[in-house]
Structure 1
Amino acid sequence: MITIAVANQKGGVGKTTSAVNLATAFAAIGWRTLLIDLDPQGNASTGLGIAKDQREHSSYELLVDGIALGDCIVATQIPDLDIVPAKVDLSGAEIELVEMHDRTGQLRLALAEAHHDICFIDCPPSLGLLTLNALAAADRLLVPLQCEFFALEGLSQLLSTVEQVQQRFNAELEIVGIALTMFDRRNRLTEQVSDDVRGVLGKLVFDAVVPRNVRLSEAPSHGLPAIVYDHNCSGSRAYMDLARELIGRLPERRKAA
């Protein structure tokens, strides 16, 4: 299984929107896809229409209580897309993980029994133990980056954290790409940020950019990914382009058992 952490310690950069829509795009072309909601806000779960009463076992139980992955998975209304939902009690997991042996390796252990082709992990907006568990479990890291000045400030910190994870927990982790989000061509700063990021990181930055788009914002309130809610809107088309580009950066598909 290919495992991709979607992470950036800055909030509001499009992590959850990216994780949900990329997971949906992969499921739509026949990949058995798993999405792990590792954000205590549970927005990925809500955005896929998973009601509170469907979250009996969640990512909290998966990490802290050792509940089997299969018992935590909930099927979504999207064919071939499953999710491990999140509940608010996940916010306490950071404290409880501190006491555990191999506190950064709990998610990696849990995912060992997965039978999917690809897994996306929606990380919280921090570099705490939840995100470290995701980075220790992942093969690849995808970084959504908002096209605004302050978004650049935290990028170096995230890249430094990735280097530490590679050295200490997961030598196989590599950055699959930086996805520019909330792109507004009417704003000169947006273009400047884009040029600066591409100048520094080059081909690591995806060609596809995700624009600011009302339909992307509306979709979660309907419990649907944007590419299902309105597949013709500019945001949905951007995520489909991003998914195609991402596939080209992954190893040849390994069919799950």
Structure 2
Amino acid sequence: MTGTKVICFANNKGGSGKSTTCSNVGYGLSALGKKVLLVDGDMQLNLSLSLFEEEQVLDFARSEKNLYEGIRRQADLTGFIVKSPFENLDLIPSSTLMCSIEYELFTKWQREYILKKCMANIVSSGAYDYILIDAPPTLGGWVMNILCASDAVIIPVESSPWGMFGLANMFEFLGEVRQIAPNLETGGVVITKVDTRKSYFRQTLDTLKELDGVKVFDTYIRVDSGVEWSQDNHVPIMAYRKNSRSAGEYMELTREVVQRFERGSTVCIRN
């Protein structure tokens, strides 16, 4: 990939750590000196809440400056970008009205490509090194839009008895999307919420490694209460507690992402 890289984080299983992974990889990329745009595609607003206080996020949701309004109008999303409190990290916030986005898309011409068209000027401008999109935990027309707008998908999978549930449906859906977006890459699977004292992690890892053509990131994310505290304070864990175990794990995952999508790159943290 060259130029702006568009990566979505998707899994039809809720609770996989999708939004947390998206926000922390985004922050990690910004700490490496990359210019990053986060796009909150979920009505739950979690990605927006990872950067802004709840009152501000609700203000975005009630305003006309959010992703729902942009998609509804099929507008250039450049005008919907807001600056985050963190250097090199911007956001297109979500809205609770995203719950009706499928209805908005249903009658539209070439509805699978609306997000791609709305993002076209941002991508072609080269203003960002990475655009990271947080998808909702569903499979349907809106998630297909997100995947069609992306160069690659990263799939967070929770290390738990139910973490693998529905993953086959996710890969089947990706197969359907590739019929109209053949260049979509599976960037890899990242295992989250790992408790190394339990056998679920090894079971999850072994199962994933048995799947043909599925790349599993070397870095996995362990359970850490610090992540919950960072969410409560509306900041990524690397900004909230940069010396914590989770901060280190997310930075290692970020380095893997850069190495995977920028072949031959040397990764150095910006001071």
TM-score range relative to shorter protein: over 0.9
**CA 1:202/1:130 → structure 2, altered by over 3 Å: closer, same or farther?**
closer
Q: Which amino acid aligns with 1:125?
A: P
Taking the aligned partners of 1:129 and 1:214, their CA distance within structure 2 comes to 35
Identity of aligned residues (%): 29
Q: Which amino acid aligns with 1:76?
A: S
Write out the 4+ residue segments of structure 1 that deviate beyond 4 Å after TM superposition. Answer: none
SS of residue matched to 1:224 = coil
* Pairs within 5 Å for 1:77-156: 77-114=85-122, 115-156=127-168
1:251 and 2:258 matched: no
Give the number of equivalent residue pairs: 252
Contact conserved, 2:10 with 2:137, CA < 8 A, in 1? yes
Residue 30 of structure 1: which of 25, 29, 33 is its match?
33
Equivalent position of 1:170 in the other structure: 181
Q: Which runs of 5+ in 1 are unaligned?
A: none
Deviation, structure 1 residue 61? 1.2
Equivalent position of 1:63 in the other structure: 71
* 1:178-220 Cα deviation digits (max 9, x unpaired): 0000010111122222222123357700000000110111111
Q: Which runs of 5+ in 2 are unaligned?
A: 266-271
Q: Which amino acid aligns with 1:128?
A: G
* Pairs within 5 Å for 1:200-219: 200=211, 204-219=215-230
Taking the aligned partners of 1:192 and 1:149, their CA distance within structure 2 comes to 9
Contact conserved, 2:5 with 2:130, CA < 8 A, in 1? yes
SS of residue matched to 1:158 = helix
**CA 1:203/1:172 → structure 2, altered by over 3 Å: closer, same or farther?**
closer
Contact conserved, 1:4 with 1:139, CA < 8 A, in 2? yes
Moved more, 194-203 or 147-156: 194-203
SS of residue matched to 1:249 = helix
* 1:221-250 Cα deviation digits (max 9, x unpaired): 111011111112111111101011111110
Equivalent position of 2:46 in the other structure: 43
Note the aligned Cα RMSD (angstroms): 1.5
Residue 15 of structure 1: which of 9, 15, 18 is its match?
18
Contact conserved, 2:186 with 2:214, CA < 8 A, in 1? no
Q: Which amino acid aligns with 2:93?
A: P
Q: Which amino acid aligns with 1:47?
A: S
TM value normalised by structure 2: 0.89
Residue 59 of structure 2: which of 45, 53, 56 is its match?
53
Taking the aligned partners of 1:189 and 1:90, their CA distance within structure 2 comes to 34
Q: Which amino acid aligns with 2:202?
A: E
Q: Which amino acid aligns with 1:90?
A: M
TM value normalised by structure 1: 0.94
* Pairs within 5 Å for 1:155-234: 155-167=167-179, 169-200=180-211, 204-234=215-245
Taking the aligned partners of 1:163 and 1:54, their CA distance within structure 2 comes to 35
Contact conserved, 2:76 with 2:119, CA < 8 A, in 1? no
Contact conserved, 1:49 with 1:223, CA < 8 A, in 2? yes
**CA 1:93/1:32 → structure 2, altered by over 3 Å: closer, same or farther?**
same
Moved more, 48-57 or 216-225: 48-57
SS of residue matched to 1:204 = coil
SS of residue matched to 1:142 = strand
Taking the aligned partners of 1:82 and 1:201, their CA distance within structure 2 comes to 36
